[in-house]
Amino acid sequence: MAKTRSQKSVQSHFDRSIAQLSPSLQREMRELRKQEARILKLLSDPKKAEQYLSHPLQLLQSGGIEVPTLLKRRLQQFDPNLAQHLSRQTYALPNGQAITAHIRVRFTRGPREGSDAR
């Protein structure tokens, strides 16, 4: 079955994003990508997406996602305090006004059809 133009575009975007990884990590990323639909479905739950920020390996494994060995090792070294770094912080401006940054993490499939993200 031939790939459509948008599938080729997304594939080339993915290939560019992993190009600087070692060949073995590239292979593992391609293996993990085969489970992309399941991963995105898992991350569509906001609570699980938040959990992913602090314990990505645990969440993937609990969702039945098979994580390749090298990626598993890297995810075991992941900083579990990342969610705290992304928490809302209030900043006081010199004029006394207080502002709060709202950081939102969204997981998406990649470039939309017809776009050429480089």
pLDDT in tens, 30-78: 999 999 999 999 999 989 988 887 888 999 999 999 999 999 998 888 7
Candidates 63, 57, 59; CA nearest to 77 is 57
Q: Are the C-beta atoms of 111 and 117 separated by less than 8 Å?
A: yes
Token couple for 63: 């969702």
CA atoms within 13 A on the CB side of 114: 0
Token couple for 46: 């906001």
pLDDT at residue 95 in the model = 93
Token couple for 21: 């990884």
pLDDT classification of 28: cutoffs 50, 70, 90:
very high
> Where in the chain are the domains?
5-100
Q: Are the C-beta atoms of 88 and 101 separated by less than 8 Å?
A: yes
Q: Are the C-beta atoms of 80 and 54 separated by less than 8 Å?
A: yes
